[in-house]
Structure 1
Amino acid sequence: MIHLFQYNWQIRDEWFTLCEQLPERELRKERVGGPGSILYTLFHIVEVEHSWICAMQGKPDIPIHFENYQSLEAVKKLSDSLRLDSEPYLLDWSENIEQEQVYISWLEETFLKGEVIRHVIAHETHHIGQLSIWTRELGIEPVSVHFVGRNLM
């Protein structure tokens, strides 16, 4: 699983770099087909990943508010910080964990950790596709999503 998280993190970092060339108004412009703006979508990816991983670790769900991260740099710093918090847990991932139950407080449901971890990976991939469409609409080539050639394995 760690390779897919490393892939997502690498892609995310490339999106932060690509978005540095966008004017602030384009980062904040509300868009169709996603959670909102480009900036909010990047925040949403980071916040959702962190919430689910905290739940799997048995940590409380402490909301992270977008109002506190109103710049690309702030969202990037948040991403870097939360990744450092999540990575040790993901590095220790094993097949034994897959069948463990985890209670998700905001859904008031229990799931298998194996399905939660896959959900988190797919969630980011889904939103990266939206970012790709939006940047193409702006005439910008999106970040390549190829897994091969990234030297992750």
Structure 2
Amino acid sequence: MLQFMLAIDLGIMVLIWLVQIIIYPTFMHITPDRFSAYHNRYTGRISFFVVPLMFGQLGFHGYALTRSQDVLHVLGAILIGLAWLATFGLSVPCHHRLASKGYDPMVIKQLVHTNWIRTVAWTGVVILDILPVLRSAGLV
């Protein structure tokens, strides 16, 4: 089970770093007349990856938390909760504004800025995942 959890967590971490460093900043360089079509395609296609990863992560970590309230599991659950709050409280509303208004540099900047919360949270989950491995190898 831990291998599946780590695979999902790594997948979501890599995805969020790609979004943070490449995809969201690229929104600024899409011409306003083409932005809405691009954004609609992007949100539809990225959901194909994001939704299963987020629900898979929630399921595996939720199950792990029911089996053990180890501090690493609890911290991981807190970070996942933070990522979900940032997703639905910050990122999704920005995407809704972009979908309804089209190209808006201020909303894009807000999206990039607030996405750091998810990037740090999901990176933290992976760090918590690998700490026991590093400990057992005597590296921490």
TM-score band, normalised by the shorter chain?
0.3 to 0.5
TM-score (norm 2): 0.41
TM-score (norm 1): 0.38
- Structure richer in strand, relative to its length: 1
Larger radius of gyration: 2
